Amino acid sequence: MADETGLFIYGLVPADVEATPDAAGVGDPPGEVTVVRHGDLAALVSEVPLEAPLGRAADLRAYQELLDGTAVVAPVLPVRFGTVVTGPDAVLDLLRPHHDRFAAALAEFEGRVQYVVQGRFDEQALLRAVLDESPAAAGLADQVRGRAEAASREPRIRLGELISQAVELRREAENRRLLDVTAEYVVATQLRPPTHEMDAAHVALLVDTDREDALVDVLETYAQDRRGLLRLRLLGPLAPYDFVDEHQLAG
């Protein structure tokens, strides 16, 4: 007996959007991406076996590549990764009750894309700054220098706490600084949680496509100004993952 299949939903787009012939979906082998339409909306979907596990790195990459590629040419509302329904009728059951709300959300994202800026402190430079600015931390560093870990456990713990507090304060300041320098170039911002203890900043930015070049320029200048203190990474253009929570469909 053939495996039962369902439809993996990637995102919602305007009804006039077509899936390109080379669009590859999730699964092994990748599924063909098609659209299910209702009124002014369409859902990007591909067929998957209902019993097939989804969640491989390749599946997440296919999901993101499809959405990010779509966002460059049309507004898109990402649907939570892993959303699978039984067929086209089930897709329509999701679209019909919320058609006007989803259509309005798509209109808001017309001509807009997301960028993500992630900064990471240079660990050695940060530690030097903390010790220079904090006599307490410098004193604890002197106490543990050259001593076995077991014999200096208490001052090591306290030094770690002071460093952690200093990193948190600097992270808050760096995020504020980054939001300030990009404020005139973006239409919305969203702070992201740190992914590493040395993260300096992690911000999602929603930008009009006609301001993309200006945003990239100001971020390049910012990275130059902060060289030696942190390394900046810019991802984009992306689908507006961080700005569609209230419109996102549950899995």
For residue 250, the model assigns a pLDDT of 41
| Domain residue limits, the chain | 5-110, 113-243
* Rg of the chain, C-alpha, whole Å: 23
CB atoms inside a 10 Å sphere around CB 182: 20
CA atoms within 13 A on the CB side of 40: 12
Q: 196 in helix, strand or coil?
A: coil
CA distance 85 to 158: 52
Identity of the residue numbered 89: D
CA distance 222 to 170: 16
State the Cα torsion 79-81-86-87 to the nearest 10°.
50
Instruction: Please tell me the pTM assigned to this model.
Output: 0.85
Cα–Cα nearest to 80, from 7, 8, 4: 8
What are the mean pLDDT values of the chain's consecutive 10-residue runs (251 residues total)?
A: 81 93 88 94 93 86 96 95 92 93 94 96 83 77 71 76 85 94 96 91 96 96 91 95 67 40
